[in-house]
Amino acid sequence: MSDCIFCKIAAGEIPSNKVYEDDKILCFHDLDPKAPVHVLIIPKKHIASMDDVAAEDLELMGYIMTKVKDIAAELGLDNGYRLVNNCGEDGLQTVKHIHFHLLGKRKMTWPPG
């Protein structure tokens, strides 16, 4: 999608502080971190939100979930972490490209918001 900031980041049109990249996903540091470690994991395929995940995205979504532990290990999150997806206006999704926040290196609180 030509006007999506995360698509532009995935395409290399906008620079990011990359943690991990392959042909399916990109992980980069959040510009407004909420924890000592705060990265975003995005698919390179544009999917607007969890509400837009289709049956054809099953493999991609599963792939993302299996890579989380590897990215967490690479970032030294051996004492635990939080994985968050915001969906829609009430869920405070600000970028309409599905993404997951991986946060760690501090004790998380509950409830989150």
- Please identify every residue annotated as catalytic: 99
Phi, psi of 62 (to 5 degrees): -65, -40
Query: What residue type is assigned to position 60 of the chain?
Result: L
Q: Which residues, listed in sequence order, are joined to residue 29 by a DSSP beta bridge?
A: 39
Q: Where are the alpha helices (DSSP H) in 1-113?
A: 5-10, 58-74
Q: What is the DSSP letter of 98?
A: -
Tokens of 24: 């399916």
- Helix (H, G, I), strand (E, B), or coil: what is residue 52? helix
Question: For residues 103 and 81, is the Cβ–Cβ distance under 8 A?
Answer: yes
